[in-house]
Amino acid sequence: MGSLPFPSRDARPDLSSAVAVFVDRAYIGVMDQRQTAEASGAYPAVSFETILTDFELLDDWEDRYRYVIELGRTLEPLPEDARNAANKVQGCVSQVWLATSIDPDNGPPRLHFLGVSDAHIVRGLIAILFALYSGKRADEILQIDANASLAKLHLKEHLTPQRSNGLLAMVQRIRRDASVATEAAPSLH
């Protein structure tokens, strides 16, 4: 029998080098969180600061895209009955639904969001927006400069114009819901 065209197990390079682990750790961590969440029925909240840090760790935009897609998989499911005309976001090329719930119990209203899209990247963008906005008071949401926050991720340079417009439409929808909640707040107490 002749020699095999593949290196022996001992001659194979160590693929767990610091560089390979360093590059993959961010989106692999999100995948692990998603699997744990799906098993327990809970969905982990990822902070915007964590996303920003993870983006800085990933030099390659292909890795960043995979990470964004994995973020989208961490979204809590949107019930089918919430996929209606009132929750559909206009201005997105992909189908996008955002459902807003308002928690007025502890002072100013806090907004929580559920959302989904038929596009993997857009689901990830929704997850990024939820990290930026969900769980915050309506007045805090209105003070967030989404353009400045999202610019830190350099998304605009790497999204198609249609995706950028859709992202802006989602931001406008979230801000509109926060504005409505702020105006309605006195009648909620």
Alpha-carbon distance 146 to 132, whole Å?
A: 8
From 46, 68, 69, 92, active-site residue: 92
Torsion angles phi and psi, residue 134, rounded to 5: -65, 140
Distances (CA, A) of 114 to 64, 77, 96, 97, 170: 23, 7, 11, 8, 12
Beta strands in the chain (DSSP E): 96-103, 110-117
Determine the 3-state secondary structure of 20 from DSSP. Answer: helix
For tokens 């920003």, name the residue.
Answer: 52
104: closest CA among 139, 69, 70?
139
DSSP assignments along 81-93, one per residue: GG-STTTBPTT-S
Cα 183 → chain centroid: 27
189 is catalytic: no
DSSP-assigned letter for residue 75: S
Residues involved in catalysis: 92
